[in-house]
Amino acid sequence: MKDRSIIHLDMDAFFASVEQLDNPEYRGKPVIVGGTPEGRGVVSAASYEARKFGVFSAMSAARARQLCPGGIFVRGNMDRYVEVSHQIGSIFDSFTPLVEPLSLDEAFLDVTGCLKLFGDAETIARKIKDQILEETGLVASVGISHNKFLAKLASDMDKPDGFVVIPKGKEKEILAGLPVGRLWGVGKKCDAVLAGAGVKTVANLLAYSPTALEILIGTERAAHLRALAVGQDDRPVIPDTSAKSIGNEVTFAEDISDSDELKHVIANLADKVAWRLRRSDLQCKTITLKARFADFTTNTRAKSLPEPTDSTVEIRDVAWDLFDTKLKRGGRSIRLVGVAVSGFSDQAIQGNLFQDKDKEEDKKIDRVMDKLAEKYGRGTLKRGR
């Protein structure tokens, strides 16, 4: 198979950087985007000035305040972040059709077929990085290699404002001294199991008996990690296609067991998902709740509605019901929770002769809140329970 030229581009502290861009008085200061310390919210993003204090995404806002008393807490403006993300995506599209977004702030680009037109991968990556800075005022970190795993690894090696290339033939040398936790698929639990067996670096992993490794972590995972340890990753860059689902999830810095706090987070996630539906003129029939527990087991529970909806309250209430009656949590702490919707239909073709008055009122409130969000940013106004 012909060697690929893959670029992974990651915007540095994206949400916080946009806030610093739009608010010059924030520049050079610790900016923390997300919940406020007075509430139960979590950190969505932290500027590098805040990260020096130990503040990271998914940490509770209250904990962030303890670590960084002088931090500037802002609710954030998702409309603005989406706008800038689309602007950056347009730059990607001008170089290659093979763009795989991972989130608003990072993407893989396969530029293998564009080398004769724009130059080698390093030249293309430099052009993209410079164009993003020129057009948006934001800084990106770039990783370049012959597969996705190595490109993403490279983009994270010299943040912020990084530009790292892992050339073919050098991958084993670069990987050998890295912590084994840098391999995809090694979470906290797996990392602890490997460390207990003396496997702390990638070199340790390769020196470990393949049979013993299979016994330790399972045949499939052992094969997967051994392939990554020598720089092998055959996954193609898959361009973005029409979404089959819309979802939001959050991973907590510390596992949460309090049901009220978890339901508060679920309500916020449902609000974001419903807003994205309305923004896309879509309605959904299926709501899915996802939860990952402290032991890394993951449960998903779903419910389909008789009629499609884009209502914040309806999606929230279904997600709450799934949490209360179907999740079978048994009091276990949760490290990740997510809400997703699927089974889409176009709003324009929907209609019901007998309208539910409560649902109609909810829709009116949704429209008012969407208008306020467009003007003042999401999070300005929140629904009561």
Asked if residue 118 and residue 156 are part of one domain, the reply reads: yes
Q: Which residues share a beta bridge with 32?
A: 46, 73
Residue 238, domain member (yes or no)? no
Contact 212, 226 (CB under 8 A): no
In a domain, 384, yes or no: no
Q: For residue range 357-371, what is the model confidence (pLDDT) as tens digits?
A: 565 666 666 666 665
Residue that is last in its domain, among 146, 168, 190: 168
Any domain includes 234: no
Do 7 and 127 have their domain in common?
yes
* pLDDT at position 202: 96
Residue 235 forms part of a structural domain: no
Q: Based on the domain organization, do 333 and 262 belong to the same domain? A: yes
Question: What domain range includes position 35?
Answer: 1-168
> Pick from 120, 100, 138: which is nearest to 13 by CA?
138
End residue of a domain, out of 128, 146, 168: 168
Count of domains for the chain: 3
Whether 179 and 301 share a structural domain: no
Does residue 296 form part of some domain? yes
Tokens of 73: 């807490």
State the pLDDT at residue 49: 97
| pLDDT score recorded for residue 9 | 97
Query: Same domain, yes or no, for 74 and 190?
Result: no
The residues assigned a catalytic role are 106
- Tell whether 22 and 148 lie within a shared domain: yes
**How far, in whole angstroms, is CA 97 from its chain's centroid?**
22
Sheet holding 99-103, edge to edge: 99-103, 106-110, 6-11, 140-145, 163-165
**Alpha helical stretches, state H, the chain:** 14-22, 48-51, 61-67, 78-93, 115-118, 121-136, 148-155, 171-176, 188-196, 202-207, 210-217, 219-229, 259-279, 312-321, 357-376
- CATH number (domain holding residue 306): 3.30.1490.100
Tell whether omega for the bond before 101 is within 30 degrees of 0, i.e. cis.
no
In whole angstroms, give the CA distance from residue 340 to residue 334: 17
User: Are 163 and 30 in a shared domain?
Assistant: yes
The pLDDT of residue 51 is 96
pLDDT per residue rounded down to tens, the chain (385 residues): 578 999 999 999 999 999 999 999 999 999 999 877 776 678 989 999 999 999 998 888 889 999 999 999 998 888 899 889 989 988 998 899 899 988 889 999 999 998 988 999 999 999 999 999 999 999 999 999 999 999 999 999 999 999 999 999 999 999 999 999 999 888 888 999 999 999 999 999 999 999 999 999 999 999 999 999 999 999 999 886 555 778 888 888 788 999 999 999 999 999 989 988 887 788 999 999 999 988 878 888 999 898 899 999 999 999 999 999 999 898 899 998 999 998 887 654 444 444 455 656 666 666 666 655 554 544 545 555 5
d(CA 293, CA 297): 6
In a domain, 382, yes or no: no
CATH of the domain at 153: 3.30.70.270
Asked if residue 144 and residue 52 are part of one domain, the reply reads: yes
Same domain, 41 and 179: no
Q: Which residues contact 30 (CB under 8 A, 6 or more apart)?
A: 46, 47, 49, 50, 52, 53, 55, 68, 70, 71, 72
Total Cβ atoms within 10 A of residue 342: 16
* Domain limit, last residue, from 168, 201, 218: 168
Is the alpha carbon torsion for 308, 311, 312, 318 positive or negative?
A: negative
Residue 125 lies in a domain: yes
Q: Which pLDDT score, from 0 to 100, does residue 344 have?
A: 82
Identify whether residues 203 and 338 lie together within a single domain: no
76 domain-assigned: yes
Asked whether residue 84 falls in the same domain as residue 178, the answer is: no
Q: Are residues 19 and 148 in the same domain?
A: yes
The CATH number of the domain holding residue 224 is 1.10.150.20
